[in-house]
Structure formats: C-alpha cells, structure tokens
Amino acid sequence: MFRFRWEKPTRRNTAEGPASRYRRIQARRRNPDRPVRTPPEEPRRRGRPDDKARSDGRNPRSPVRPVFVRRSLVDVRNVTGQLGRVGAAITVGLALAAMVFAASTATTAGATAGPDHPVFLWLQVSRRSVPYTGGSVWFIFRVRHSNECRLVAAGAGAGSVTVPVTWRRCSNGIYRAQVAFGANSAPAARLIAFRAYLRRGTAIYWEPLGSIRVDGAPRPANPSTPLSTNVAMSLTSSAAGNRTTSELVEYSASLSATCQDSDGDTLPCPVPTGTVSWMSDGADLRGNLTSQSSPIPTCGGAVGSANTEGTCDVTFGAYGDEWVSAVYTSASASSVTRTLEVQLEAPVDLGAGLAYSGYGNVGPDATDDCTMASVADWIETSLGTVPDYQETVDAYWQAEKRFNGGEDVGLNVRDLLTFWQDTGIDGTYLTDATPLSSDAEIETYLSGGRALIADATLPKGFPPGQPGGGHQWLIVGYSSFGPMIVTWGQEVQLSWARFDRLTWSEGGDALAVAVRS
C-alpha cells in the first residue's frame, strides 16, 4: 500500500503561506490515510521552444515532485502522536474526576450543595437614592432553583422602611417588591442595607444587595429670630348667609398667625398657646333688644400650635337676631375678638321681610289707635298692599268720633269690627270674624297662611315706660318657643307662656278675619 505525500517544497517556489501549511500538516496528522490536497501550482512560464516535458514525466520547472513510498508496518511518528493523545486524555479525565469529587464534598451555608441549589443571578433597582421627604424603590431580582424569596432591610434607619415581611413564591425566577422609605428629618443622610434571602426546602441562602441612600433634610441658612406675632381669627357659623330656622347654631373660630422676624420678613408661624372663650353679646328678638354680655359656660378651650380651631354649639330659646363673640387670649400675643350676628327665623313667619308702620301709635304724642294699626298691619301682611299712613290715622279719628265723641280713648274690639264692616278701612270691608281660643288653633291658622288679630292686657311697664292696659296686635308666625307678634311697627318674639298670660288669662281673643274690597 502506498501513501501519496509531498516533499517539502522550497519557500521560493510555492505560493502556500505559513497558515495554510500549518492547517495542511494538522489535517494530515488527524487523518494520515486521507490524501492531502495538492497546493496550487504556479502558472507555467512561457519558455523557449526547446522547453518541453521530459520523457520521464517530470517537469524541471515544477515546484514539487511527487514521490510514491511504501508504508512501513510501523510508523514511528504516527505511534508517538497517538501515545501523546492518549496521555492527554488520561490527564484530562483525572482532572475532571478530582473536580467532581471536590464538588460532592463542598457545602454552602451549612447545607449540602447540589446541582439545583438556589442561585442569585442579577438585581435591578429603580433608584439608589431617595429624597429626604421619603419615597419608594422597586427591587427586582432573578434567581434560580429557589421556591421562596424574601427582602430584608438592615442597619440604622431600617425602622422607617416598609418592606414585605412574608416569604413570597419566586419559583418562576423573578421576585418584585416595592419598598417605602419614610422621611428623614435629620440633616445627615441615612444608608439602609438590604439582603435577599432564598429558600429551597429547609436550606436558606442569602445575598447582599447593597444600600439605598435617604438624603438628609436641608439645613436652614442663617435662621432669623421672630420679633412679633400677629394672630388673626375668622368666625363662621352653620347658618347659611347667617340666617337659619334652626334653634341650634354651630360656631367655629379659626386662628392663624404671622411673625415678623429680624430680617424684616413677615412669614406664617405657629399660633401661640392661648384660650378661646365665647360670649353672648345680646339679641334683638324682633324689637326686644338686649345688649348685656354674658359668657357661654359650655364653650371654650385651649388652642395653639397645631390646634387652631375653637368651636361652640349654642341652642337659642327665641327667634330674632343673636350676637355671639369669640375671644382669643394669650400671654405671648395680643387678644383678638370677633363677633358674628345670626338671624334666627321662625319656621312660620308671614311677616318676614315686611316693614311695618306705627301709624301714630308710637312715641310720646302717640294716639291710642293700636286697634286701627293692627288692621292696617293685617292688610299689609294678608293682601300685600301697604295702607296709606294718613288714611289709616283719619279712619281712627272718624271711628273715635262715631263711638267715643271724638276723644282719644281707643276702640274696643266690637266697635272696631263694626266700623270695619260698615265704613271700611283702607278700602276693605270685614265679611267674617272667627274667634279662636287655644294655641293649637293659632298654629293651625298660621300654618294655613292666615294672620290673626288678637287683643291682650299688658302689665304696667310692658314695654318699658308704658302704663299698661288693653292692647291689640297682629300674630304673623310661631315656633316651638312662642308666637311672632307685630306691634308698634315691629315684629317681636313672645314665649307661649307670656302670650297665654297676656291673652287667654285676661279674657282676650284671637280673631281670624276675612274681608272684601
């Protein structure tokens, strides 16, 4: 058997480079039985006419010369190469066996490590620093061969961090958690370290994740010194537009403060510690005006700093205008007083918004025409027309001349109704008069929109300076406290007890009347 090989060509006569030659030699060593490709020959040169191929088949200008050699039974170079490869394989096998043995005896975190022990792969955080006001950071990491994962904060300031405290399943390889960081009021920054714990079965492994920085609070530059404090107070009530039909009114005093510092700036500042007290500063119960101030014992309390509100709930016993004041006092600031007027309106008040006249029945030279004035007030309330002042006074003197010879002694109810029915008052004529005898009947007629004329007997000095005696007025509304009365050109509030004493107890009547034009 013969092997085809090439003699070593000279570098001058071949186009084969060192790299090509190296690859060719290696290929021949790997497979000696495979013929090696012939390197490319140089193109034949144009020669003289006598340059022809030799009879032995060899060309003197060829770069290589083929030689056929019989292979010997033992190729020393081939045997040496094969022994070298066997030795290398033995060496590699021994090294791998040593590595497997070392891995089988190694332990991690006190547990026997196998090919599927938990492995931490990578970590991603949304940011590495948080402002001093606080914020949140997302932790995302990938693991392998772990059933459950947990994130733990450690170090100073860990108490201000909110981390999920339970183990979470991470068998899919991904763990996500949002960590909330509280505010840092200290000027120094805070570093909070984190660890990732991986659990598989009873074995637990951990991996450090680095730290998150919480910035420190900014330091004020050259703090100024406050020189004076000014306290302002606003007073509001539950009455919309300061008008209400409820006897219960809720008052609220809100405090604020501004300080002028040594730099000349006026800035908001805490309210100095003090107290807010409440006063009832008078009432105008539809003409019953009182101006005496008295404290409200159920209200009042300490204010200051974060507590800047003072409240007071007042239940009034009558309808009309009520004045309530809130007074703030403090040892380190000037006192402040605010007063609020609230108008309490009766649930039924036919005279609300009307302006009544006294028709000469008020003043030192007043006449005794209260009966004629009550009729004029009834016409204004029930018919919506305002009687002429002079015509009403003239009608009174005409009735006095008819029944009392022209003397100013007043008219009784019977003479008034007769004159109203026959002669008429301000263009109206009486057609019906129904007497009433109880508070319940009065409420029924008022709820139906009908004003009532009532006569009463007044004690001496009611109102102040009056001699007392018989009187006649108009009832235009009522509440749980009592009826609303129009007299002497004013609407006033009476209690039911006083009204009953002045009317029913003295034999008086209340009349529901009807007229025609």
Closest residue by Cα to residue 469 from 412, 416, 415: 412
The greatest distance separating any two alpha carbons of the chain, rounded to the nearest whole angstrom, comes to 186
106-130: average pLDDT:
70
Q: Does the pLDDT at position 149 exceed 60?
A: yes
Q: What is the pLDDT of residues 13-32, one digit of tens each?
A: 455 677 777 777 777 777 76
Q: To which residue do tokens 């606003």 refer? A: 234
User: Taking the domain 351-516, which CATH number applies?
Assistant: 3.90.70.10
pLDDT above 70 (res 3):
no
Give dist(CA 268, CA 166) in Å, integer: 45
Q: Name the pLDDT band for 332 (thresholds 50, 70, 90).
A: confident
- Tokens linked to 293: 């101030």
At residue 96, φ and ψ (nearest 5 deg) are: -65, -40
Residues paired with residue 191 on neighbouring β-strands, in sequence order? 213
Helix or strand or coil: residue 372? helix
For the ranges 209-218, 285-294, 384-393, 502-511, the lowest mean pLDDT is seen at 285-294
- What average pLDDT does range 124-136 have in this prediction? 91
Local structure of residue 126 (DSSP, 8 states): S
CATH superfamily for domain 226-345: Immunoglobulins (2.60.40.10)
Model confidence over 420-459: pLDDT tens digits? 999 999 999 999 999 998 999 999 999 999 999 998 888 8
DSSP secondary structure letter of residue 160: G
Cis status, amide bond into 467, omega within 30 of 0: no
Nearest to 506 by CA among 473, 482, 470, 468: 470
Buried b (16+ CB within 10 A) or exposed e, 132-162: beebebebebbbeebebbbbebeeebeebbe
CATH code of the domain made up of 119-214 = 2.60.40.10
pLDDT > 90 fraction of the chain, expressed in percent and rounded: 29
DSSP string, 59-104: -TT-S---EEEEPPS--HHHHHHHHHHHHHHHHHHHHHHHHHHHHH
Interatomic CA distance for residues 403 and 453, integer angstroms: 21
Show Cβ contacts of residue 161 under 8 Å, excluding neighbours closer than 6 positions: 153, 179, 180, 181, 182, 192
Domain boundaries, the chain: 119-214, 226-345, 351-516
**Distance of alpha carbon 152 from alpha carbon 494, whole angstroms:** 75
Cβ within 8 Å of residue 233, ≥6 positions away? 253, 254, 255, 256, 326, 328, 336, 338
The reply to whether 351-516 shares the fold of 226-345 is no
Nearest to 473 by CA among 356, 389, 352: 356
105 has pLDDT over 50: no
- β-pair partners for 435: 511
Label residue 103 by pLDDT band (50, 70, 90): very low
Cα–Cα distance for residue pair 170/149, rounded to 1 Å: 6
- Per DSSP, what are the bridge partners of residue 336? 328
% of the chain at pLDDT higher than 70: 75
Long-range contacts of 441-448 (CB under 8 A, 24+ apart): 441/510, 442/475, 442/478, 442/483, 442/510, 443/348, 443/478, 445/512, 446/348, 446/350, 446/475, 446/476, 446/477, 446/478, 446/483, 447/348
Q: Residue 182: how many CA atoms within 13 Å on its side-chain side?
A: 11
Residue-wise pLDDT for 229-275, tens only, equals 889 999 999 988 888 878 889 999 999 999 887 777 788 888 999 99
The more confidently predicted of residues 489 and 468 is: 489
Residue 468, H or E segment? none
**Strand pairing category for 333-344 and 243-244:** parallel
Mean pLDDT throughout 106-113? 38
Query: How many angstroms separate the CA atoms of 140 and 119, rounded?
Result: 15
Looking from the CA of 332 toward its CB, the CA atoms found within 13 Å total 14
338 in Cβ contact with 237 (< 8 Å): no
Contact 449, 436 (CB under 8 A): no
- Tokens encoding 508: 């008086």
> Rounded mean pLDDT of the chain?
79
